[in-house]
Amino acid sequence: MSLNLDDYVCEFCGKPCKNIVYAAFVCDDVECLEKARIARGGPGGHMKRKAEGRPIIPGELEPMVEESKKV
């Protein structure tokens, strides 16, 4: 099964999707590519979050991590 990028839009501007970069659907605009990099934490950003004991996906389950640190 292949992924048809024409079925998706850029997560940052809404233009037609042309690429998947840093786990985000993005167009060819350099600004959107940079926004995807920043949202992901750059190369290795997910591993840095994992080493800190935080979720790999930014914003996912953050409150639960904070709750577990209080106990």
Strand runs labelled E in 1-71: 19-21, 24-26
Cα separation of 45 and 28, whole Å? 22
- Tell me the pLDDT tens digit for each residue of 8-65: 999 999 999 999 988 889 999 999 999 988 887 766 777 777 888 877 765 555 554 4
CA dist., res. 23 & res. 20, Å (int) = 6
pTM summary value: 0.58
- How many whole angstroms separate alpha carbon 68 and alpha carbon 55? 13
